[in-house]
């Protein structure tokens, strides 16, 4: 009988200890949930209405790429050579811009020239192409957004449309 009483007391203490630990974990989870509610992640792309800052870049063909480049509605695609999604979205983007004036399409490829060659080959006939490092002037002007990301930039170099999928990109009438 004393063994039975000792066993019941032991199990009771073990359950009480487990309950205390469970309550501590629940309290900690609530604290984390409150912290996460207050945290706001930056948007994955440059917000609509944002005017690009002054910058100066150059395309592979020597064309100056700066705020003046966006004299009319311009479709912009930002890609990275280290991005698997970028490789997947490239055919869809090229199909989307195929009928546009190449002077009204800008493709920015983040990475070194050798790794960017497949992008350059696909985009050069259809767009003005810039290849630059992640901290290059054009990437920096767009706030170094997630890649791939796609934009329409209007007069005054203001972002009028932004999306993460080429299919969500409205094709401007003047482009």
- Alpha-carbon distance of 33 to 60, in angstroms, equals 48
- Largest separation between any pair of C-alpha atoms in the chain: 94
SS3 29: helix
Q: What is the pLDDT of residue 45?
A: 73
Fold of 56-168: Glutaredoxin (3.40.30)
Q: pTM to 2 decimals?
A: 0.73
168 pLDDT exceeds 80? yes
Each domain of the chain, given as residue ranges in start order, spans 1-40, 56-168
42 pLDDT exceeds 70? no
Q: What is the pLDDT of residues 46-80, one digit of tens each?
A: 788 889 999 999 999 999 999 999 988 999 999 99
Q: Please, what is the average pLDDT of the chain?
A: 88
**Spatial contact of 39 and 141, defined as CB atoms under 8 Å apart:** no
DSSP letter assigned to residue 158: B
């Amino acid at each position: 009988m004393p063994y039975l009483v000792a066993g019941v007391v032991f199990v009771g203490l073990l359950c009480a200890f487990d309950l205390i630990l469970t309550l501590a974990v629940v309290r900690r989870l609530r604290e984390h949930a409150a912290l996460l509610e207050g945290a706001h992640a930056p948007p994955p792309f440059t917000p609509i209405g944002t005017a690009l800052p002054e910058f100066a870049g150059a395309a592979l063909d020597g064309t100056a790429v700066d705020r003046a480049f966006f004299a009319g509605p311009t479709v912009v695609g930002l890609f990275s050579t280290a991005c698997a999604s970028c490789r997947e979205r490239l055919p869809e983007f090229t199909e989307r811009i195929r009928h546009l004036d190449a002077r009204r399409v800008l493709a920015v490829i983040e990475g070194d020239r050798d790794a960017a060659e497949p992008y350059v080959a696909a985009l050069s006939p259809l767009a003005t192409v810039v290849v630059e490092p992640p901290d290059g002037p054009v990437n920096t002007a767009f706030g170094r957004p997630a890649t791939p990301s796609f934009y329409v930039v209007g007069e005054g170099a203001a972002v009028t449309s932004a999306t993460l999928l080429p299919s969500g990109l409205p094709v401007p009438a003047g482009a």
